[in-house]
């Protein structure tokens, strides 16, 4: 590795430790307390009028002040930060000198000693030994803080190039506690969703990621090749068809939380790989799924954030059931003043859209033009909203409405101006499903690369009998954006996909 001047100096300090017989990367740590536990132990001892506890703590050095024969340093672990009160008297002259010459900001150290409160009132470790646990060779980026005339402090990112935050997420996490908190919220959110489903008799399962036929969504797949089997395989774009096969196998409620992969563009709300929750429930329909989703999200918000009211940008989003319900036709009419059913062909709808100033691709089908119009309504759907009744052309896995065969029982859920999820009264007629697959095949041949391919095995499963059911897919990453008040999906993914630097 080619080292910068600062990195070279730090590497020399690591060598200096080795020369003194001290390992810069020892095999073990002997920590007895986290920083929070150490502080709590001291406070408990004071309350009981007992002797101050002895502790061994460990963490990353985040501040240092050299005051001659005295040093103050703060270490930080995953729970909090704690001051080390280091004097040459307690540490010993040689050890104190070595520590001053070799410890830098960013190093991981272990300190042992007695808990005290300094003259300034800060609870600290009066350090008797300090041990290097991991010498940091590359200095961490330092966030900048600027104080204005009123005394208010504005904190600026440590990264001049915002993309470096995502490329070096490890450094971003190391210097920004608020970023670490985002992913704690995300983890609690997923735990809450899983708990709700488990408590309502849903069985968590795992389905194949590598699939011989992709399906369950309108998306282009990533393709790979299995050398021994000599066949193309696809990274899944959805769990749907494999989960519904399990309903045939007499499981009535199933779900999966995992990764999907779609070979599509990158945006503030799209990443090529993303986390999805899908569940399917026998003997229910679109409207039963609506009630299930309302209850699940309300529970997840309370369990994660302590409230059903969530701040998202300038809005307060209320996840208290029931959610608003509006037909796709009405949502589009309200946003664009176009009644799409009055334009039953792609040419007529395209012409109307262009006359009103909306984008309308020349090669888009009628159904995809309708979907484009929905995009005009999406930004205004801030409060939780079920937009239901979609054209059959863009919903090949959903049941048609009994009173309108041109539309299906499908909803998309919108919150905060984003689509969060998708649900159907699932089609369970194998003959109708075969016709839908054939229609999708014709669309693919006509140039629609996102059309659903024929899946003979799925049809075979349906031929054994599939109970009536409803299903729902939820974008975990977008829900995390909502729960953490972030507008970019990159902020809630630990490792978002980025272009190479030279691009």
Label each residue of 367-405 as H, E or C: HHHHHHHHHHHHHHCCCCEEEEEEEHHHCCCECEECCEE
DSSP code of residue 238: -
Confidence class of residue 445 from pLDDT cuts 50, 70 and 90?
Answer: confident
What integer pLDDT is reported at residue 142 of this predicted model? Answer: 79
Compute the average pLDDT of residues 280-304.
Answer: 98
Pairing mode, strands 144-147 and 123-134: unpaired
DSSP code of residue 2: P
Phi, psi of 218 (to 5 degrees): -95, 95
What integer pLDDT is reported at residue 444 of this predicted model? Answer: 84
Q: How far apart are the C-alpha atoms of 457 and 461, rounded to whole Å?
A: 6
The pLDDT of residue 309 is above 80: yes
3-class secondary structure, 60:
strand
What integer pLDDT is reported at residue 85 of this predicted model? Answer: 96
What integer pLDDT is reported at residue 147 of this predicted model? Answer: 56
| Closest-CA residue to 410 (of 432, 378, 388) | 388
- State the distance between the two ends of the chain, measured CA to CA, in whole angstroms: 23
- The residues, any chain, with a CB within 8 Å of residue 86's CB and separated by 6 or more, are 70, 71, 72, 73, 96, 99, 111, 127, 130
Specify the range with the lowest mean pLDDT, choosing from 12-26, 174-188, 439-453.
439-453
Compute the average pLDDT of residues 452-470.
Answer: 96
- The residues, any chain, with a CB within 8 Å of residue 382's CB and separated by 6 or more, are 312, 315, 317, 415, 416, 417
The pLDDT of residue 18 is above 70: yes
280-291: pLDDT as tens digits: 999 999 999 999
| Per-residue exposure over 382-408, b if at least 16 CB sit within 10 Å of its own CB, e if not | bebbbbbbbbbbbbbbbbbbeeeeebb
- The residues, any chain, with a CB within 8 Å of residue 168's CB and separated by 6 or more, are none
The pLDDT of residue 160 is above 70: no
| Tokens 């050299």 -> residue | 66
190-213: pLDDT as tens digits: 999 999 999 999 999 999 999 999
Burial-class residue 205 by CB neighbours within 10 Å (0-12, 13-18, 19+): middle
Q: In the β-sheet with 223-226, what is the strand arrangement from edge to edge? A: 210-211, 231-235, 223-226
Q: How far apart are the C-alpha atoms of 395 and 424, rounded to whole Å?
A: 9
Does the domain made of 178-323+383-492 have the CATH classification 3.30.930.10? Answer: yes
The pLDDT of residue 154 is above 60: no
Pairing mode, strands 81-87 and 123-134: parallel
What integer pLDDT is reported at residue 158 of this predicted model? Answer: 65
User: Would you kindly state where each structural domain of the chain is located, as residue ranges?
Assistant: 5-134, 144-175, 178-323+383-492
> Which tokens belong to 484?
């953490």
Q: How far apart are the C-alpha atoms of 319 and 433, rounded to whole Å?
A: 35
Q: How far apart are the C-alpha atoms of 499 and 228, rounded to whole Å?
A: 32
| Tokens 């012409």 -> residue | 351
Fold identical between 5-134 and 178-323+383-492? no
Q: How far apart are the C-alpha atoms of 103 and 106, rounded to whole Å?
A: 9
What integer pLDDT is reported at residue 156 of this predicted model? Answer: 57
The pLDDT of residue 146 is above 70: no
CATH architecture of residue range(s) 5-134 = Beta Barrel (2.40)
What integer pLDDT is reported at residue 437 of this predicted model? Answer: 93
- The residues, any chain, with a CB within 8 Å of residue 78's CB and separated by 6 or more, are 34, 180
Q: How far apart are the C-alpha atoms of 367 and 51, rounded to whole Å?
A: 75
Q: Within 13 Å, how many C-alpha atoms sit on residue 167's CB side?
A: 10
243-264: pLDDT as tens digits: 999 999 999 999 999 999 999 8
CA 10 distance to own-chain centroid: 35
Pairing mode, strands 309-312 and 315-318: antiparallel
Facing residues of 326 across strands? 387
380-431: pLDDT as tens digits: 999 999 999 999 999 999 999 999 999 999 999 999 999 999 999 999 999 9
Q: Within 13 Å, how many C-alpha atoms sit on residue 199's CB side?
A: 11
| Closest-CA residue to 235 (of 274, 177, 180) | 274
Q: How far apart are the C-alpha atoms of 383 and 360, rounded to whole Å?
A: 28
Specify the range with the lowest mean pLDDT, choosing from 271-275, 298-302, 433-437, 495-499.
495-499
The pLDDT of residue 153 is above 80: no
Q: What percent of the chain has pLDDT over 70?
A: 96
Q: 322: cis peptide before it, omega within 30°? A: yes
Specify the range with the lowest mean pLDDT, choosing from 2-16, 158-172, 215-229.
158-172
Q: How far apart are the C-alpha atoms of 95 and 109, rounded to whole Å?
A: 14
> Which tokens belong to 297?
């999200």
Averaged pLDDT of the chain:
94
What integer pLDDT is reported at residue 451 of this predicted model? Answer: 86
25-71: pLDDT as tens digits: 999 999 999 999 999 999 999 999 999 999 999 999 999 999 999 99
Residues 269, 496 contacting (CB under 8 angstroms): no
């Amino acid at each position: 590795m080619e080292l910068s001047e600062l990195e070279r100096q730090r590497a020399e300090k690591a060598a200096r430790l080795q020369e003194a017989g001290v390992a810069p990367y020892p095999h073990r740590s002997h920590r007895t307390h986290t920083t929070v536990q150490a502080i709590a132990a001291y406070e408990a001892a004071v309350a009981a009028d007992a002797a101050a506890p002895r502790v061994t703590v460990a963490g990353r050095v985040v501040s240092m002040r050299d005051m001659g024969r005295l040093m103050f340093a703060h270490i930080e672990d995953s729970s909090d930060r704690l001051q080390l009160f280091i004097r040459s008297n307690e540490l010993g002259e040689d050890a104190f000198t070595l520590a001053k010459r070799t410890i830098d900001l960013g190093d991981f150290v272990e300190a042992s000693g007695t808990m005290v409160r300094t003259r300034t009132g800060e609870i600290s470790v009066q350090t008797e030994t300090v041990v290097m646990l991991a010498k940091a060779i590359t200095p961490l980026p330092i966030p900048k803080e600027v104080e204005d005339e009123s005394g208010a402090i504005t904190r600026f990112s440590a990264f001049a190039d915002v993309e470096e935050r995502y490329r070096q997420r490890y450094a971003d996490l190391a210097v920004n506690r608020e970023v670490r908190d985002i992913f704690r919220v995300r983890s609690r959110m997923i735990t809450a969703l899983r708990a709700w489903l488990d408590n309502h008799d849903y069985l968590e399962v795992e389905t194949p990621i590598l699939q011989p036929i992709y399906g369950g969504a309108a998306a282009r797949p990533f393709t790979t090749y299995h050398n021994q089997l000599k066949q193309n395989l696809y990274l899944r774009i959805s769990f749907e068809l494999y989960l519904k096969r399990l309903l045939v196998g007499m499981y009535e409620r199933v779900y999966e939380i995992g990764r999907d992969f779609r070979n599509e563009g990158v945006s503030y709300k799209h990443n090529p790989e993303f986390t999805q929750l899908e569940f399917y429930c026998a003997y229910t329909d679109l409207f039963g799924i609506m009630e299930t989703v309302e209850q699940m999200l309300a529970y997840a918000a309370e369990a994660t954030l302590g409230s059903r009211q969530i701040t998202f940008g300038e809005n307060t989003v209320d996840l208290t059931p029931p959610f608003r319900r509006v037909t796709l036709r009405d949502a589009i009419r309200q946003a664009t003043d176009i009644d799409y059913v009055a334009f039953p062909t792609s040419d007529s709808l395209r012409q109307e859209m262009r006359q009103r100033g909306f984008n309308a691709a020349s090669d888009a089908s009628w159904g995809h033009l309708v979907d484009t119009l929905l995009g005009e309504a999406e930004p205004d759907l801030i409060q939780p909203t079920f937009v239901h009744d979609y054209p059959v052309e863009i919903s090949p896995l959903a049941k048609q409405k009994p009173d309108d065969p041109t539309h299906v029982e499908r909803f998309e859920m919108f919150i905060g101006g984003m689509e969060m999820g998708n649900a159907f009264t699932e089609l369970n007629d194998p003959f109708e499903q075969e016709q839908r697959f054939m229609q999708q095949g014709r669309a693919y041949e006509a140039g629609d690369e996102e059309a659903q391919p024929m899946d003979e095995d799925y049809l075979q499963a349906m031929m054994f009998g599939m109970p009536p059911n409803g299903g729902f897919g939820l974008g975990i990453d977008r829900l995390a954006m909502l729960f953490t008040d972030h507008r970019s999906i990159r902020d809630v993914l630990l490792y978002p996909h980025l272009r190479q630097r030279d691009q």
